Amino acid sequence: MFDFLTSEEVPATSSSAPRTAADLDGALLDTYSRTVSGVARQVSAAVVHLKVQKPENQQNRQRQGQNGNGQNTGSGSGFVISTDGFVVTNSHVVNGASHIEASLPDGRSFHARTVGDDPSTDIAVVKIDADNLTPTRFGDSNTLQVGQIAIAIGNPFGFQYSVTAGVVSALGRTLRTQTGRLIDDVIQTDAALNPGNSGGPLVDSFGRVIGVNTAVILPGQGLCFAVASNLAKLVVGKLILEGRVRRGMLGIGAQAVPLPSKWLNALEINTRGGIQVQSVESGGSADKAGLRAGDIIVQFEGKPVDSIDTLHKVLDEASIGRSISLWVLRDGNLKSMTAIPAEMR
């Protein structure tokens, strides 16, 4: 009474049959989905949720609230980089913290101590005394291409281990930190970041850390930024070894100014601007060198300096304690001077 199809009668699906555009799109989306979920599983074991307490006079741009003890509470993210418990995060997450609690995906929680932090790059390292850790590995941010997959993992709004995916939108962006300095090597991504994502990893399709998530521009959509991994690696190494990143200083207050065209032509200066000294710290490097208010610094070791950011760049660790040649405009005359930058504290 009932007719059943036998296996011989069932129409065969040939693997050689033409695939439609919808089939191909579906396969590509499935591959993308598997990539993101696979990377999330691989990396999430290393992502740390940080609960931070700061004295109430500390300005914390993370999620805040009073705990009744004169402390602000906030949260952020970090990621394990070694089996002995070093964790990378943002400086603005842990700077000035009186207590840091680190929670791992397996449910364990540990007190974390700050090893070092560098507000000028918004990078910090904390350490937890834990075993059986699964560290991440850094990738090479110099090989990144605009348009490649970027996956952010963190703890937005205190929700642990959230994953968002997007692409690398741009490379070589600059971002100004709370210290007023510019970070030069910044990745722009449209992978959604929210408060609490700060300090978490931005990873590629192989699970390698390509950036440290640091900022989102509100109310803009898809404007999120991460400190590139190569810069982060350099800073992290210095923080672990020395607890800080050393930079030079001249001991001046200054501002960038344009140079009158008559000076450019007469003095053959290869820059259109300079750094005008507004004040000189008594006993500082500039004071000892003979710099005074009104002087305009136009060259530092033969390099033009036409902005405060350029001056910050050349006053690096290598400049500390070394005689540096300066070309200075004073009363319309070009003057050669020598200064010995001190270490910035």
Span of 151-160, 234-243, 247-256 with lowest mean pLDDT: 151-160
Chain mean pLDDT for the chain:
86
Token look-up 């560098």 returns 118
CB 225 within 8 A of CB 202: no
Q: pLDDT value at position 21?
A: 64
- pLDDT for 210-238, tens place per residue? 999 997 776 656 689 999 999 999 999 99
Q: pLDDT value at position 193?
A: 84
Q: pLDDT value at position 161?
A: 78
Q: pLDDT value at position 322?
A: 95
Q: pLDDT band at residue 1, thresholds of 50, 70 and 90?
A: very low
CB 51 within 8 A of CB 75: yes
Q: What is the mean pLDDT of residues 182-206?
A: 90
Higher pLDDT, 181 or 47: 47
- Can you name the CATH fold of 248-343? Pdz3 Domain (2.30.42)
Give the tokens for residue 275.
């750094």
CB 341 within 8 A of CB 250: yes
Q: pLDDT band at residue 14, thresholds of 50, 70 and 90?
A: very low
Q: What is the mean pLDDT of residues 88-97?
A: 94
Reply yes or no on whether the pLDDT at 296 is more than 70.
Answer: yes
Q: What is the mean pLDDT of residues 312-318?
A: 91
Picking from 142, 146, 185, 189, the residue whose alpha carbon sits closest to that of residue 165 is 189
Domain spanning 141-242, CATH class? mainly beta
Domain spanning 44-128, CATH class? mainly beta
Q: pLDDT value at position 29?
A: 74
Determine which helix (DSSP H) or strand (DSSP E) holds 37, and give its type and residue range: helix 21-44
Q: What is the DSSP letter of 138?
A: B
- pLDDT for 318-330, tens place per residue? 999 999 999 999 9
Best mean pLDDT range from 13-27, 61-75, 119-133: 119-133
Domain 44-128 identical in fold to domain 248-343: no
Q: pLDDT value at position 65?
A: 52
Domain boundaries of the chain, sorted by first residue: 44-128, 141-242, 248-343
86 forms bridges with which residues in the sheet?
Answer: 127
Q: pLDDT value at position 166?
A: 93
Span of 55-59, 280-284, 338-342 with lowest mean pLDDT: 55-59
- pLDDT for 146-184, tens place per residue? 999 999 998 876 666 789 999 999 999 988 888 888 888
Number of neighbouring beta carbons within 10 Å of residue 61: 13
Active site amino acids:
92, 122, 198
Higher pLDDT, 165 or 195: 165
53 forms bridges with which residues in the sheet?
Answer: 73, 99
